Structure 1
Amino acid sequence: MEEHSNKRPLLLSTSEDHQQVSVSEHELVSLVQRTWTEVKKIWKVAGPSIFSRLSLYSLAVITQSFAGHLNDTDLAAISIATTVITSITFGFLPEVVAELAGTVAVWLIPMHMSFVFQFSLVRFLQGQLKTSVIGWVSGLALVIHLLLNWFFAKYYTIGVVGAAIMLDFSWWVSVLGLFLYAVCGGCRESWYGFSMEAFSGLWDFFKLSAASSVMLALESFYYRVLVIVAGSLGNTAVDIDALSICITSYGWEIMIPYGFLAATGVRVANELGAGNAKGAIFATKISLLISILIGTMFAIVILAFPDKLAMIFTSNNTVINMVNELSVLLAVTVLLSCIQPVFTGVALGCGWQSQVAIVNLGSYYVVGVPLGVILEQFFGLGIKGLWTGMLSGTVVQTLTLAIITIRCQWDKQAKEAYSRVVKQAISDQSSCDT
């Protein structure tokens, strides 16, 4: 009897078969619903962030395009001044380009002063879930910049310095727009005016922001180093022009993954704060999938139309041909750079900023840059070798962050985050009672 009871029929009955199919269909429907819900949550943060970043970055792109159709020297100068902006660069470049880049950089000082105020305002409004406002204000600045460039290109000859001044003005339009919205009634529940309470907990804020700043600075500046090293190794103005176009195009596209960086950070932090480890993992997977799909699409476009991309910035056929030669490296860089911002977003959500800063420093500046110089100088591969070496740094960084994310003890992270949220809520309640 016992032996007989353990035996199972070779074929399931119709009712059992139907039950298994129903369970399977239910799980599939549930997965689709969860995915769609998560996609909407991610895009709610990523969408406005992407639009805002693209609009603001396009201010510099439009200026570079305007300068590139004046002459190639102006293109190199404005590209260096807007993408690198560092005094040490000028000594490494061809003399005429370096002198003009230095002049442009001086005129762009007001734009760089605006960054401090702008990024603070952006983070404040993102914390209030006012991301759509950031997008509208950034779009307004972009429209104003387009109109200014069209007007002066049609009626006046203002040169590259005039283009820099217009860029300054447009950036400050976005800063003033965000500031007026925040202090003039747009954030009634969180803005109570200027107060000395803003300085409370300043040291903790400084430690966290310093780690984040170093982490993002090492990352965002990395491919700008290509221009510096290319100039220092004696490459021609044509090489620098082509490289500047590629780096500008890369910077334009990476504004989209950076939007997913922000969205992933918010979603992971929210889920961990709620004690939901599985929710944080699921949000990471969905964000990574979307970002890879978008990166693949852009990589295909770059490979299909490299000449059209170059013609946005220049009419010089020699530069256009050089961009065509670099298009494969640009496409691979774009694809890889759609993966690692998501892992960086996970790091922001988990509070791993200092760890990622160390990973970025080692991957980029201990592996990538030295290997690129070796391939360029000792193997005679030129700019392609330099870029290939630096691309290897991105591969190392992406793999390292992927391993850290996979090995993360998510349940432990969720418990710790939830505990911090509860303690903070109790502390806030005590303060209100007193």
Structure 2
Amino acid sequence: MDVGMETKLLRHKDEEEVDIRKRLWNESKKIWRVALPTIISRVSSFGIIVVTQSFIGHISGIDLAGYSLVQALSVRFFTGIVLGMSSATETLCGQSFGAGQHHMMGIHLQRSWIVDLVTVTILLPLLIFGTQIFKLFGEEASIAESGGFISLWFIPYVYNYVFSLTIQMYLQAQLKNFIVAWLSAIQLVFHILLSLLFVYKFNWGVSGAMLALGISSWAVVFGEFIYVLGGWCPDSWKGFTVAAFKDLLPVVKLSISSGVMLCLELWYYAILVLLAGYMPNAEVAISAFSISLNINSWEFMISLGFLSAACVRVANEVGRGNSKAVKFSIKVVMGISATIGVFFFVLCLVFREFIAYLFTDDDRVAYAVSDLSLLLSFSVLLNGIYPVLSGVAIGAGMQTTVAIVNLVCFYLIGIPLGVLLGYLTPLQVKGIWIGMIGGVVAQTITLTYMIWRTNWDDEVKKASERLMRFYVKTDENAEQISS
């Protein structure tokens, strides 16, 4: 090979490396533009749940167990339903934005409000009859009574999901979710101050802590309404319209498949908490397991930021018809999320039982949390991987397939394994958690293989057909009933 040819090859190689670095930098910026505000908002929003748990934990051990039971079972059930069904909004808004159908985003948002509002109202008896349900599942009477009382206080809280989650997904699809991050951060500070006032100044105890939770949860919703209805989304919000009531059935179908997908995942952890309630010394077992699970869930809020980033980037590029950009985006967001997962893996190993004392003064509970720290660390590590895979699936509209994967991996592998190790070996609560990790590992491997084998050109065609099915002509905006 002559010198001139070798020089050209080297120059071409250098240009390729520069091009890859430039693409990587640009894609990383796009991912963080979605992920960072989402992380801030999710961490802050979940933070008010954790803060409330901390206040109640320093009031009463029984009430801590009752709150943990409600939060891990009933509220997680509602969260799974509404978050899952709202992910249909994430899919449709993301793909509509990528396809340039901006006016459809406001219609998708209103349709999601209708579907989610009806769904939450139908499920309300689960909170109203909390005590009876917990006793039916065999929980201790004192814990069930406390849980039933706390369940009633959660009713205003679950209704905020109908609007807060859907508006956040609507805004992040058009890269306007920094406002949600600011509102959520303010909400967390406001909630801490309100809890201190109600619990310690007014001495309202558990009722004061729950009242603060209800008020704080709706503060973000009002801020979001002001932003959306106040004219800051002129291209995507054209006012309330009767078009939102048309063609609801396809939206319901996509919402149900989305709901089932995430519910199977969130309920999985709830069932494991329920199993912990049958262990000897149930009060300690539930509290320790719930605290560890809440630490895992709080870190999972960071992973949800990358889930959202994966969803938005995949949905946008699928909507644009760019299958190569989809593949590149998946690799970048997976690399960033996995790196952060490793960081928190190390962090959980270092702090161990110190974390528990933020939630309780009971040395028994703190020791039990410390005993779970290694398993907690591995769960946190997996949080850096499988949520991104779920985000890719949501962005592409593959919720039904992932729901089947979750059903098999979590309920036919994870829970049976947890029961066997928890009740037939001396591992007890640790055995349940090992079963949980086993289900997550199986799901991660399956989703990795599924996404690797996906033909993204076919997914682009499917997305185009879906958008045309939901499309409403802009002249229908004349039917708006408000602006």
TM, length-normalised to structure 1:
0.91
1:6 corresponds in structure 2 to: none
Among 359, 375, 386, the alignment partner of 1:313 is: 359
What's the CA shift for 1:135?
1.3
1:78 corresponds to 2:78: no
Per-residue deviation, 1:191: 2.6
**1:415 offset after TM fit, Å?**
4.1
Which amino acid counterpart does residue 123 of structure 1 have in structure 2? M
Identity of aligned residues (%): 40
Question: Is 2:262 aligned against 1:216?
Answer: yes
The alpha-carbon deviation at position 298 of structure 1 amounts to 0.7
Q: 2:38 aligns with which of 41, 49, 56?
A: 49
1:151 is displaced (CA, Å) by: 2.5
Runs of 4+ that moved beyond 6 A: 424-427, 429-432
Structure 2 equivalent of residue 402 of structure 1: 448
Give the distance between the partners of 1:247 and 1:52, measured in 2 at CA: 19
Stretches of structure 2 lacking an aligned partner (at least 5 in a row): 75-125, 478-483
Name the CA distance, whole Å, in 2 between partners of 1:23 and 1:92.
69
2:104 matched to 1:58? Answer: no
1:234, distance to aligned residue in structure 2 (A): 4.2
- Matches of 1:82 and 1:153 in 2, distance apart? 19
- Give the secondary structure class of the aligned counterpart of 2:328: helix
Secondary structure at the counterpart of residue 298 of structure 2: helix
Distance 2:472 2:357 in 1: 58
Equivalent of residue 289 in structure 1, options 335, 338, 362: 335
- Measure the CA separation in 1 of the matches of 2:197 and 2:403: 44
Distance 1:60 1:166 in 2: 10
Query: Paired residue for 1:194, among 240, 260, 282?
Result: 240
Deviations 1:294-350 (A, max 9, x none): 111111100011122112111222211111110011111111122111111111121
Distance 1:420 1:102 in 2: 43
Q: Which residue of 1 aligns with 2:117?
A: none
| Paired amino acid for 1:176 | F
* Aligned twin of 1:203: 249
Residues 1:276 and 2:315 aligned together: no
Q: Specify the alignment match of 2:27 in structure 1.
A: 38
Number of equivalences? 421
Structure 1 residues 208 and 272, CA gap change in structure 2 (3 angstroms):
same
- Alpha-carbon distance between aligned partners in 1 of 2:43 and 2:49, rounded to the nearest angstrom: 10
RMSD: 2.2
Higher mean C-alpha deviation, range 148-157 or range 267-276: 148-157
Give, in whole Å, the separation in 2 of the partners of 1:70 and 1:409. 55
CA distance in structure 2 between the aligned counterparts of 1:148 and 1:260, rounded to whole angstroms: 31
Bigger CA radius of gyration: 1
Following the alignment from structure 2 to structure 1, what is the Cα–Cα distance between the partners of residues 150 and 365? 22
5+ residue gaps, structure 1, are 1-11
In structure 2, the residue matched to 1:28 is 17
Aligned to 2:139: 93
Q: Which amino acid aligns with 1:70?
A: I
Whether the 8 Å contact between 2:313 and 2:395 is mirrored in structure 1 is yes
Query: Cα distance, 1:380 vs. partner?
Result: 2.9
In 2, are the aligned partners of 1:108 and 1:165 still within 8 Å (CA)?
no
Task: Letter of the 1:35 partner, please give it.
Answer: L
Matches within 5 A, 1:132-143: 132-143=178-189
Offset at 1:270? 1.6
The one-letter amino acid paired with 1:114 is N
RCO comparison, higher one (Cα < 8 Å, 6+): 2
Summarize the Cα distance change of 1:23–1:80 in structure 2 as closer, same or farther, 3 Å threshold: same
Q: Which among 366, 369, 376 is matched to residue 412 of structure 2?
A: 366
The secondary structure found in structure 2 opposite 1:315 is coil
Q: List aligned pairs for 1:346-361, cutoff 5 A.
A: 346-361=392-407
In 2 relative to 1, CA 205–156 (structure 1 residues): closer, same or farther, beyond 3 Å? same
1:110 alignment counterpart? 156
Alpha-carbon distance in structure 2 between the residues aligned to 1:324 and 1:155 = 33
SS in 2 for 1:232: coil
- Give the conservation status (yes or no) of the 8 Å contact 1:215–1:354: yes
- Structure 1 stretch displaced more, 253-262 or 80-89: 80-89
**Tell me, what secondary structure is at the counterpart of 1:194?**
coil
Q: Secondary structure at the match of 2:426?
A: coil
What is the CA distance between 1:413 and its match in structure 2? 2.1
Counterpart amino acid of 2:314? Answer: V
Residue 122 of structure 1 aligns with which residue?
A: 168
Is contact 2:199–2:209 with CA below 8 Å preserved after alignment? no
SS at match of 1:221: helix
Native 8 Å contact 2:243 2:472 kept in 1: no
Say if 1:52 and 1:134, in contact at 8 Å, map to a contact too: yes
Task: Choose from 356, 374, 379 the match for 1:333.
Answer: 379
CA deviation vs aligned residue, 1:363-393 (integer Å, no higher than 9, x gap): 1112111111011112232011111112111
Matched, 1:238 2:227: no
For residues 145-170 of structure 1, what are the alpha-carbon distances to aligned partners after superposition, in whole Å with 9 as ceiling and x for unaligned? 01112333442322122211110111
Aligned partners of 1:79 and 1:359: how far apart in 2? 28
Corresponding residue for residue 56 of structure 2: 67
